[in-house]
Amino acid sequence: MIEKIFFKRKYLKNGNRYLLQQVQKFYSNKTTNTKIVNIMNEKDPSFLGIQTIFTNELKFVNKECYDTLPTFRILNSLHKHFQLPKDLKLDEQILIKIYHKMITLNIMDKILYESQRQGRISFYMTNTGEEGIQIGSAAALTLEDIIYAQYRETGVLLWRGHSIIDFMNQCYGNHKDASKGKQMPVHYGSKKLNFVTISSPLTTQLPQAVGTAYAFKRSQKNACTICYFGEGAASEGDAHAAFNFAATLECPIIFICRNNGYAISTPSQEQFKGDGIAARGPAYGISTIRVDGNDVLAMYYATKTARELCIKNGKPYLIEAMTYRIGHHSTSDDSTVYRSTDEIDHWNCYTPILRYRNYLESIGLWNKEQDRELNKSIKNSILLAFAEAEKELKPCWKELFTDVYHTMPNHIWKQMHSMEKHINEFHKYYPLHLFKQSNNHNNK
C-alpha cells in the first residue's frame, strides 16, 4: 500500500508519455492557447542526463505549478474509534512496546532536563513532541542497519537496546561512559548497536552515511544505512552532496528528515520557500514520501516499506517526517523568545504520545490504571539509574591524552608527564578524590 505513494520521477512505464501528460497539464491554462510543438522530435538529439520535451512557449516554473506533496498518516488527530487496515496489523506486544519506549523517552527527558537546571549535568536536549518519529522508525529497522543520527534521536538508540544507565553515564561523563567523558551530553554512540557516535557539527553525518551505504552496496550486505537530520541541516552544503552522491551512486540509504518547524530559533518558513524538504527528493532522483511524524504507526510503516524497497532496489529513499518541537532547542535556549506559549500549548494537544495512547485505549489494549502504573515504574527505574550514575567517579585525568593515537607519540607523552608533575606538586588544589585512579598510560 505505502509503496504506491512514494513519489518517483516516473509513474508510468512509458516515461515519455508521462512527460507529455505533465507538460500538457502544465501549459493548458486560460491565459494561452499556444500549442506545444516539436514534442519529442525524433530528429532532435536528446540532451544528456534528462528526459525532455520541447515547447515554443516561454514560461518559468515555480512551486505553484505543482501540487503539494501529500502527508501520509494512519491515525487521525481525533484518535477515536480507529481500526488499522488489515494489511497494517501489528503484534499486540509490539504495539505495547512502542508505547513503553515512547513513555520511557519522555520521562527520561524530564528528569535529565531538570537535572541540568539543577547544575548536576552540563547540557541536555529533549525529544518532547518527536517521540513518534524516533520510536516508529527505529521499530522498523534491524540491528544490521547502521544509524547515523543528529542529536535528537535518543529514542532510536533506546529502541535498539541501549540501557538507561548507559544514557545516564554518558550525560554525567563518568568513568563508565563509553566515550570516557570526552563528548558533550546526549552525544551518544554504540558500536554494538550500530549507532555511530553523534557529533555536534551540523550535517557532517549525511555524506558519511552515504559512504557507509556505498560500502554496503559494494559488499552486497542485506542491510541499509539510515541517516537522521533536521530540516535546518538540509540548508547545509553537505546535504546537497549527500543526496547527489546517494542518487548517482545508487546507495542503499534512507534519509529521515525531522521537520519540526524550527532550526534552533529560525522557523522553517525563513529557511526555505519551496514545498519543504520532500520536494527536493525527486529533483535529485530519490524516491520520497512525506509522513505525519506525530503518527508513530505511519512512521513505522513508511520506514518499513522504505527499508524493504531500499534493500530490494539498492537505491536511496527520503522520508520527510512532519512534527513539532515542543521543548526548547536545548538547555541553552529559551524558545519563548521567538515563539508564543499559545503556539506551544496548541501543539501539546496533538502530541504523538497522546494520539497513540488514545488509539491503544480505543482498541482495548490500554487503560488509565495501566498508564499510571507504567509511568510510576519507569520513573522509579530512571531515578535509580540517575542516582547510580551520579555517584560514579569521573574518568582518570590521563584519559585527556588517550584514544587519539594507537600508540602514544612522544610529544603527547611529554605533555601528560608534565601534567602529572604539576598534579603531584599541587594535588591539594584539585578534587582528585572525585576522579578514578590512574592507569598505566606510560607506553610510548
Taking only the tens place, the pLDDT of each residue in 368-390 is 999 999 999 999 999 999 999 99
Question: What mean pLDDT do residues 194-203 have?
Answer: 95
pLDDT at 52 over 90: no
Catalytic residue among 77, 163, 200, 377: 200
Residue with grid cell 481500526, as numbered in its chain: 83
Q: Is residue 126 part of a domain?
A: yes
Q: Is residue 114 part of a domain?
A: yes
Q: Is residue 413 part of a domain?
A: yes
Please report, in angstroms and rounded to a whole number, the separation of the first and last CA atoms in the chain: 61
Question: DSSP code of 79?
Answer: -
The answer to whether residue 200 is catalytic is: yes
pTM: 0.90
Instruction: Give CA angle at 385 (380, 388), nearest 5°.
Output: 125
pLDDT confidence bin for 19, thresholds 50/70/90: very low
pLDDT confidence bin for 26, thresholds 50/70/90: low
Residue 404 is which amino acid?
A: V
DSSP for 35-73 reads PP-STT-TTSPPPTT------S------GGGSPPPPEE-
pLDDT confidence bin for 65, thresholds 50/70/90: confident
pLDDT at 66: 84
Catalytic residue among 329, 335, 399, 441: 329
Q: Is residue 197 part of a domain?
A: yes
For residue 152, CA distances in Å to 90, 109, 132, 263 come to 26, 11, 12, 12
For residue 402, the enclosing domain spans 397-434
The answer to whether residue 332 is catalytic is: no
pLDDT confidence bin for 45, thresholds 50/70/90: confident
Reading the block at residue 62, the C-alpha cell is 515555480
Tell me the C-alpha distance between 197 and 277, whole Å: 25
pLDDT tens digits for range 199-258: 999 999 999 999 999 999 999 999 999 999 999 999 999 999 999 999 999 999 999 999
Smallest CA-to-CA distance from 74 within 295, 390, 269 is with 295
Domain count, the chain: 2
Say yes or no: 281 and 404 in one domain. Answer: no
Question: What mean pLDDT do residues 319-345 have?
Answer: 97
Catalytic residue among 3, 92, 114, 270: 114
The answer to whether residue 381 is catalytic is: no
pLDDT at 442 over 70: no
Tell me the C-alpha distance between 296 and 102, whole Å: 10
Dihedral of the alpha carbons of 257, 268, 294, 305, in degrees to the nearest 10: -30
Say yes or no: 300 and 402 in one domain. Answer: no
- The CATH number assigned to the domain holding 215 equals 3.40.50.970
Question: DSSP code of 267?
Answer: E
Say yes or no: 323 and 273 in one domain. Answer: yes
Catalytic residue among 137, 179, 287, 330: 330
The answer to whether residue 114 is catalytic is: yes
Q: Is residue 251 part of a domain?
A: yes
